[in-house]
A and B are shown apart, each in its own frame.
Chain A
Amino acid sequence: METAYLIETVIKIVTILLVFSALAGIGTYFERKVLAFMQRRLGPMNVGPYGIAQVAADGIKLFTKEDIVPTNVVGPIFKIAPVITAATAFMAAAAIPFLPSFEIGGYVVNPIVSDINVGILYVLAVMAVGFYGPLLGGMASANKYALLSAARGAAVFISYEVITGLSLLAPLMMVGSFSLIDLNNFQIEGYWMVVYQPVAMVLFLIAGFAETGRTPFHLVANDHEIIDGFGTEYSGMRWGLFFIGEYANMFFYAFLISILFFGGFGDGSVLGAFALLGKVSFFFFFFLWTRAAWPDVRPDQLMWLCWKVLMPLAVINIVITGFVMMF
């Protein structure tokens, strides 16, 4: 193991941790602002200019809240559950190339933590593990709302896991590689993947809302039905870690969609890097936009959509892609 490789990897990991933790915080600010503007309000305005320091104020508040572990909860599991959510969200970032490669004094750096050959499969697997956080947290909370939320969330999550996998199969058949770098390079010549696979893109996007637990499928913490779901008993920084995990997941999912279906960073020029960041910002905004525009669905509607509409569609898409590629 070379020392240079070790140092490079550590620097990349620390950068990702710091940047995306900060982005998760700023993401909450943007969410409030976007939702406010869509409802003709101003959103946070008091802390700093245009309320920009609201993020810091929230952080201080989360840190200094009294640490409460209610009676009857299963202590160790209750305490480790938020850590699982946050950490697995960041672990999914290992196989995502965040920017095109660049050179520092003749030393070429690929901004990807580990260039493994099963990239996209790894990302999906780790994102799936991330659901253990809400599930364990909800079941350990000794609270009916938390338990309901955990069960609901698990049902939603595992159902849409199937959709994510099936929708990705058709693009993977065309590219022939799991690596996100290869998936990006496939789109340099020819068109973006969304031109060849529009159905797969729509399915992947819909599944993304379920995987990140965003609003049309926000059943795990549906305020008017089950209080705050799995987070009911949590307070302070433990609750904050759930939040960091959720927002980091949104950013990583936006990266996935941009790289898989919308050309990624193209051939790797500076323009390509900015284009990727623009696409990611758009998809993050899209998540917020949907929250402002759509109501939540009921659990039975969600299951109907998943098993009776999206799954047959995904399988048909795979079969049609196969026939088109064969002839």
Chain B
Amino acid sequence: MEHIPVDHPYFGVFLLFVITFGAFYMTTVAARWASHKLAAKTSEKIKLSVYECGPEITKQPSRISTQFYLFALLFLLFDVEVVFMFPWAIDFKLLGWFGFVEMLTFILLLTVGFLYAWKKGALEWHSIK
């Protein structure tokens, strides 16, 4: 399969974005309309409460354990690493030994950070211990 050069290759992406979001949003609108016409309706008060033990409807605070934020930080660290490595990988043959040694140094520095995080216990799941 050969590449067919076009002037604006991202135009297809944009069109796909518009059409998929439009189509799926219209699907929910159509489903809403159909259920309005067809679905059996009851008007119990408790029906619209969230799934929970007990009948009281209360506003629940959306709090997430700090453990998850730690993983988000680690992700930030290592995904940025990956983003730096992608251009290097594409031009690997062009850059040769120079680029390879540079990247090895970069990986070494990150490994030190990784080992520090490991030693500090950032990779453990604390809540079950």
Most buried by B among A10, A63, A147, A161: A63
- State A97–B2 Cα separation when bound (angstroms): 11
* A67 lies within 8 A of B32 (CB): yes
Taking chain B's interface residues, is the majority helix, strand, or loop, or is none over half, making it mixed?
helix
For A165, what are the chain B residues with a Cβ–Cβ distance below 8 Å? 79, 82-83, 85-86
A197 within 8 Å of B by Cβ?
Answer: no
B112 within 8 Å of A by Cβ?
Answer: no
Contact of B13 among A113, A144, A173, A240 (CB under 8 A): A113
* B20 lies within 8 A of A87 (CB): yes
| Interfacial residues of chain B within 33-75, with CB under 8 A of chain A in the complex | 34-36, 38-41, 47-52, 57-60, 62, 64-65, 67-68, 71-72, 74-75
| Interfacial residues of chain A within 261-287, with CB under 8 A of chain B in the complex | 265, 268
* A308 lies within 8 A of B123 (CB): yes
> How many residues of chain A get a CB closer than 8 Å to chain B's CBs?
95
* A64 lies within 8 A of B3 (CB): no
* A91 lies within 8 A of B39 (CB): no
Q: What bracket does the count of chain B residues touching chain A fall in?
A: 35 or more
B 95-122 binary contact with A (CB < 8 Å = 1; else 0)? 0110010011001000100100010000
For B49, what are the chain A residues with a Cβ–Cβ distance below 8 Å? 70-71
B 17-37 binary contact with A (CB < 8 Å = 1; else 0)? 101110111011011101110
* A9 lies within 8 A of B39 (CB): no
A19 within 8 Å of B by Cβ?
Answer: no
- State A13–B11 Cα separation when bound (angstroms): 12
A82 within 8 Å of B by Cβ?
Answer: yes
* B78 lies within 8 A of A236 (CB): no
* A162 lies within 8 A of B107 (CB): no
* B1 lies within 8 A of A97 (CB): yes
Chain A's closest residue to B118 (CB) is A308
* A319 lies within 8 A of B104 (CB): yes
* A158 lies within 8 A of B125 (CB): no
* A162 lies within 8 A of B82 (CB): yes
- State A145–B50 Cα separation when bound (angstroms): 10
The 9 A-B pairs at the shortest CB distance, nearest first, are namely A114-B12, A237-B31, A300-B125, A165-B82, A66-B39, A158-B75, A87-B20, A113-B12, A173-B92
